[in-house]
Amino acid sequence: LSRRWGIGLSTAQKTLRVTTQKGLRTAVHPLHRRYRTQQQQLRYSRLNSKFYSDTMFSSSVSVRGNTCGQIFVNDLNYSKFIPLKSKGDAGMALEELFQDIGVPTHMHTDGAKELTTGHWRKVCQSYGPVKQTMSEPLTPWQNRAESEIRELKKQVLCIMSHEGIPQRFWDYVAEYVSEIRSRTAHPLYDLKGRTPIEHVAGETPDITEWLEYRMYQPVWYLDPGDFPEEKKLLGRWLGPAHRVGQAFCCWIVPKSGRVIARSTVQPVSEDERGLDSFKTRLKDFDKSVQDFLNRGDTH
């Protein structure tokens, strides 16, 4: 390094101590084939942090066909919930975590095979290597994800009960709760008054997307239909849609019950909500959505 960069030996030694070299390749054999070009270890941020993970199950199949979700948490209460159609998809959730926020140095789980072998193990090796450890059998207190699941379920049930949200939207609510928990300045000494996601991402989070609406709030959204159909339609807000469109795109429940993504959305005013005509319209809307959910259809 001293020769390559033209720096002093002492400076080179200090530089090596505070940097990584994850993509080094060896060339001890004759050159007879192309080098690997897939270098995940260089594509994503490295997190000097230990993460814990476990699978949260639901007795209700969501409108997206999800039956469970993978929860990831660290010691500073950073939390990420990723809905899954089955527990066998846990490895894909791990890959999504790495791509979204970065690759931790250490991942702790229980001994479930979908969290220790197969695609999960392959992801840990190819993106890391990430050190894998497991809890002893029948010792849930060794895995912080267990307590995070309890807290997540409690808040999800509270919001769904308070706002009258149908059960089959549980995975949208779980994502929402996980996101606001990661952006809350919890009274933890190590957070120093900051938020968990700031410690993970390294920058102050913007919480605008989670401020304007409450979960399942009635809203108006723009749907450019054919003339003379009405363009301003009634819906219910179901959280930010991060992987669709640009900033401030959100999930909306329309009258059909099939969740859509829209960015042109505004709240129903207090004056409108007081009108008998609106109350009747909202009642008909909720009945239409519930009829769809009762049929058991998925997106």
Give the pLDDT confidence score for residue 297 in this predicted structure: 74
Question: What region does 193 belong to: left with phi over 0, alpha with psi -120 to 50, or beta?
Answer: left
Give the pLDDT confidence score for residue 27 in this predicted structure: 43
CATH number, residue 120: 3.30.420.10
Are residues 70 and 91 located together in one domain of the fold?
Answer: yes
Q: Which helix (H) or strand (E) holds 278?
A: helix 276-294
In a domain, 167, yes or no: yes
Give the pLDDT confidence score for residue 14 in this predicted structure: 72
Are residues 50 and 135 located together in one domain of the fold?
Answer: yes
Are residues 164 and 235 located together in one domain of the fold?
Answer: no
Give the pLDDT confidence score for residue 15 in this predicted structure: 61
Q: Which domain holds residue 8?
A: 2-40
Are residues 197 and 146 located together in one domain of the fold?
Answer: yes
Q: pTM, whole model, 2 decimals?
A: 0.85
Give the pLDDT confidence score for residue 1 in this predicted structure: 65
Q: In the chain, which residues have pLDDT < 70?
A: 1-2, 4-7, 11-12, 15-16, 18-42, 226-229, 299
Give the pLDDT confidence score for residue 31 in this predicted structure: 44
In a domain, 207, yes or no: no
Give the pLDDT confidence score for residue 7 in this predicted structure: 62
Are residues 34 and 78 located together in one domain of the fold?
Answer: no
Count the domains in the chain: 3
In a domain, 206, yes or no: no
Give pLDDT tens digits for 235-256.
999 999 988 877 789 999 999 9
Q: From CA 91, how far away is CA 111, in angstroms rounded?
A: 14
Are residues 15 and 65 located together in one domain of the fold?
Answer: no
Q: What angle do CA 270, 271, 276 make, to 5 degrees?
A: 110
